[in-house]
Amino acid sequence: MELWIPITIAAAFAQNLRFMLQKHLKSTQLSTGGATFARFLYSAPLVALLLAAYLHFSGIPIPQVNARFWVMALSGGLAQILATMCVVALFSHRSFAVGITFKKTEVLQTALLSFVVLGEKISAWGLGAILVGFVGVVLLADNRGMGATGWKARLFNRAAGLGLLSGVLFAISATGYRGASLSLGLDVPFFARACFTLAIVTASQTVAMGIWLLMRERGEMTRVVANWRVAGLVGVTSMIGSLGWFTAFTLQNAAYVKALGQVELLFSFLASTLFFHEKTTARERIAMLFLTGSILLLVVLA
């Protein structure tokens, strides 16, 4: 088994735990911005310490950066902030499992974006997988039974918009992170590239989100600190998950990493049922099967 596979599965599990904690914060204590900021505030110092310790004990020098690195890393970081806010906001409209499934449209978009930006090709089977996934997205976007009337109201709604936008933004962030890591040079060990890129990104995200909250949501930073017990766990799970994703992106095509990351759908379904006691409809389960099927096609046949 190639190393990126267990790393990706572990990252997906940690990310699912983080979203569970953020859903709790959003529904009980914090705003969308506050719940998003919690992951950066408490993970950035941990990542910086890990990087410093790794470089010290391994004797590896700090990687040399170039303009491409900054463009890729910072654009990826901004996209991830906006994507996380979309997902947290989405939890107010649909169940946890459905919210995560909407987010998982990112894998289909990552395949396309990786081709355009990084030149990493997808096959005809990959295009077929995208079309299968599109069917799942349409089924999932249909909020029939939630008071919507008419097909336009059912398909073009706030939840669908937030979910699809989060997928686009997460695809941008994944492509940006892989591009940033590769720009450091293949002569730098993969873990050093992953850890260094993550440290730069999380530090910039913490500063950017902190400025935003000070300008737009005064008092929210104080609430994030006051809820340090849960928010701190958000930071820890965020660090573990992000480090896993960054390492996997360094080792493998971002589209395939995101494809395998669909295992998070199983984790989210269990969390939605066992912890949040949310029900999913037969149509939503069929939509999840279509999306999962598209990913299997992408992994096995692309």
- Per-residue tens of pLDDT for the chain, all 302 residues: 678 888 988 998 898 888 778 777 776 677 878 878 888 899 999 999 999 999 999 999 999 999 999 999 999 999 988 887 887 777 666 665 666 666 767 777 787 788 888 888 777 776 777 678 777 766 765 555 444 445 455 545 666 677 778 888 988 998 999 999 999 988 899 999 999 999 999 999 999 989 988 888 888 888 888 888 888 888 899 899 989 999 998 888 887 888 777 777 767 777 777 776 767 778 777 877 887 787 677 667 64
The whole-angstrom separation of Cα 205 and Cα 42 is 11
Rounded Cα–Cα distance for residues 198 and 73 (Å): 9
Cα–Cα distance, 146 to 279 (Å, whole number): 13
Per the structure block, which two tokens stand in for 123?
């096959």
What are the DSSP calls for 94-123, one per residue? S-HHHHHHHHTTHHHHHHHHHHHHH-----
Residues 155-198: pLDDT tens digits? Answer: 456 666 777 788 889 889 989 999 999 999 888 999 999 999 99
Q: Residue ranges of the alpha helices (H) in 148-216?
A: 151-155, 158-183, 190-216
Residue 160: name the closest of 96, 95, 99 by CA.
99
Query: If DSSP codes are grouped into helix, strand and coil, which group holds residue 147?
Result: coil
Is residue 150 classed as helix, strand or coil in its secondary structure? coil
Q: What three-state secondary structure class fits 149?
A: coil
The answer to whether the CB of 133 falls within 8 A of the CB of 290 is yes
Render pLDDT for 203-247 as a digit per residue (tens, 0 to 9). Answer: 999 999 899 888 888 888 888 888 888 888 888 998 999 899 999
d(CA 63, CA 46): 19
Alpha carbons 179 and 20: distance in angstroms, whole number: 29
pTM of the model: 0.77
